[in-house]
Amino acid sequence: MAVDGTWTITFDTPAGEQQAELVLDTASGALTGELNGTPIEDGQLNGDEIKFVARITEPIKLKVKCGATVAGDTMTGKAKATLMSIAFTGTRAAD
């Protein structure tokens, strides 16, 4: 399952929807990328499922574990921090 590309991610937060840019790359054989320009950590790709750790700085600083299922040019997942879990969706930008 190809996950490479630039994704627009929409987080469904208690403060309303928040958008972010997620860039994913598997060219090195591992899942790497950036969330809003900050490198993701511990990227994993297993079939149509991805997992990674992101460090969010806006609107507050959080380290979150993200997991999502990718289907074509869309993804659906959850970002989990210590006391909360936030749903998110994503759409891949056209090349």
Six token digits for residue 4? 């490479």
Both tokens of residue 55?
């460090």
Question: What does the pLDDT look like over 14-68, one tens digit per residue?
Answer: 888 989 999 999 988 899 999 999 999 999 999 999 999 998 877 778 899 999 9
Domain ranges of the chain: 5-92
For residue 80, what pLDDT is reported?
A: 94
Residue 29: per-residue pLDDT = 86
Q: How far apart are CA 65 and CA 30, in angstroms?
A: 17
CATH architecture of the domain formed by 5-92: Beta Barrel (2.40)
Q: Hey, what are 27's tokens?
A: 């060219």
Kindly state the tokens that stand for 37: 């320009």
Q: What is the pTM of this model?
A: 0.90
